[in-house]
Structure 1
Amino acid sequence: MDTIISYLDNMFASLPNTRQMRELKDELFNNMEDKYYELKQAGKSENEAIGIVISEFGNIDEIIEEFGLSEIKDEEAKQVLTESEVDNYLHSTRTASKWIGVGAVLCILGSAVLVLIIGLMESGLLKISEEIGVLAGISILLVFVATAVGLFIYGGLKLDKFKHIGSKGNFDLSYQVRERIEDEKRAFQPTFMLTLIIGVVLIILSPVVLFTLLTFGENFAIFSVVIMLILVSIAVYLFVYFGSVYDAYNRLLKTKKANGWTNQDHNEERMNDAVASIIWPLAVIIFLISGFIYHLWHINWIIFPIAALISAMFSGAYAILGRKDK
Structure 2
Amino acid sequence: METIKNYLDNVFAALPKTDELFKLKNDLLINMEEKYNELKSEKKSENEAIGIVISEFGNIDELIGELGVNLHEDEMNFPTITEEEVKNYMTMKKQTGILVGIGVFLCITGTALLILITTLVDEGIIGRGFSEDTGYMIGLITLFVMIVPAVALFIYSGMKSERYKYLKKGFNVPLSVKSLLQQRYNGFTSTYMVSLILGVCLCVLSPVSIFAASVFGDTASIYGVIVLLIIIAIAVFIFIYYGSIKESFTFLLRIDNFSKENVENNKVIGAVAAILWPLAVCIFLVSGLVFNKWYINWIIFPITGILFGMFSSVYSIIKKRKD
- Unaligned 5+ residue runs, structure 2? 1-58
Secondary structure of the 2:80 match is: strand
> Is 1:244 paired with 2:244?
yes
- Name the CA distance, whole Å, in 2 between partners of 1:289 and 1:218: 18
**1:26-67: CA deviations, max 9, x gaps?**
35xxxxxxxxxxxxxxxxxxxxxxxxxxxxxxxxxxxx6xx6
Q: 1:305 aligns with which of 284, 301, 315?
A: 301
CA shift in 2, pair 1:199/1:290, >3 Å: closer
1:35-74 correspondence to structure 2 within 5 Å: 69=70, 72=73
C-alpha deviation, 1:316, in angstroms = 4.0
The change in CA–CA distance for 1:285 and 1:146 in structure 2 (over 3 A counts) is farther
Letter in 1 for 2:222: I
Q: Note if contact 1:214-1:221 (Cα within 8 Å) is conserved in structure 2.
A: yes
The 1:248–1:217 alpha-carbon spacing in structure 2 relative to 1, beyond 3 Å, is same
Tell me the alpha carbon deviations over residues 128-174 of structure 1, each in whole angstroms, 9 at most, x when there is no partner: 32111101112222343344333333222322232344x44x22222
* Structure 2 residue identity aligned to 1:220: A
Percent identity over paired residues? 33
TM-score by length of 1: 0.68
How far off is 1:251 after superposition?
A: 1.7
Q: Which residue identity lines up with residue 79 of structure 1 in the other structure?
A: P
Distance of aligned partners of 1:159 and 1:224 in 2 relative to their CA distance in 1, 3 Å threshold: same
Alpha-carbon spacing, 1:301–1:20, altered in 2? closer, same or farther (3 Å): same
What's 1:253 paired with?
A: 253
Superposed CA RMSD in Å reads: 3.2
Q: Where does 1:182-221 land on structure 2 (aligned, <5 Å)?
A: 182-221=182-221
TM-superposed deviation, 1:189: 1.8
Find the aligned partners of 1:239 and 1:130 in 2 and give their Cα distance.
Answer: 36
For residues 147 and 158 of structure 1, what CA distance do their matches in structure 2 show? 16
Secondary structure at 1:80's aligned position in 2?
coil
- Cα 1:103–1:135 shift into 2, 3 Å: same
Q: CA deviation at 1:303?
A: 8.0
Summarize the Cα distance change of 1:160–1:278 in structure 2 as closer, same or farther, 3 Å threshold: same
CA–CA separation in structure 2 for the residues paired with 1:112 and 1:97: 22
Amino acid in structure 2 at the alignment position of 1:140: T
Q: CA deviation at 1:181?
A: 1.4
| Cross-structure match for 1:153 | 155
The Cα of 1:198 is off from its aligned counterpart by: 0.4
Answer yes or no: is the 8 Å Cα contact 2:117–2:139 preserved in 1.
yes
How many angstroms apart in 2 are the aligned matches of 1:134 and 1:266? 43
Letter in 2 for 1:253: L
Match runs of 1:305-324 below 5 Å = 305=301, 309=305, 311-324=308-321
Separation in 1 of the partners of 2:313 and 2:240? 17
Cα distance between partner residues in 1 of 2:310 and 2:124 = 40
- Amino acid corresponding to residue 125 of structure 2 in structure 1: L
The offset of 1:239, in angstroms, is 0.9
What is the rounded CA distance, in whole Å, between the counterparts of 1:218 and 1:238 in structure 2?
A: 31
CA shift, 1:100, in A, is 1.3
> Structure 2 CA distance, aligned partners of 1:296 and 1:70?
60
Determine the C-alpha separation between the residues in 2 that align with 1:243 and 1:101: 10
Query: What is the CA-CA distance between 1:111 and the residue it aligns to?
Result: 1.4
Task: Select 1:26's aligned residue among 59, 66, 82.
Answer: 66
Amino acid at match of 2:87: D
Q: What's 2:122 paired with?
A: 122
> How does the TM-score come out when normalised to structure 2?
0.69
Contact 1:203 1:231 in 2 (8 A): yes
Distance 1:300 1:144 in 2: 26
Distance change >3 Å, CA 124–CA 75, structure 1 → 2:
closer
Deviation at 1:265, TM superposition (A): 2.1
Within 5 Å, which residues of 2 pair with 1:83-94? 83-94=83-94
Greater mean deviation of Cα atoms: 74-83 or 294-303: 294-303
Aligned residues between the structures: 262
SS at match of 2:124: coil
TM superposition shift of 1:314: 3.9
Distance 1:159 1:281 in 2: 23
Report the CA distance shift for 1:272/1:99 in structure 2 as closer, same or farther (over 3 A).
Answer: farther
Paired letter, 1:135 = M
The 1-side partners of 2:232 and 2:285 are apart by 20
After superposition, the C-alpha distances for 1:166-201 in whole angstroms (9 at most, x for unaligned) are x44x22222331232122222322211111110010
User: Shift in Å at residue 235 of structure 1?
Assistant: 0.9
Give the AA of the match of 1:136: I
The question of 1:133 aligning with 2:135 is answered yes
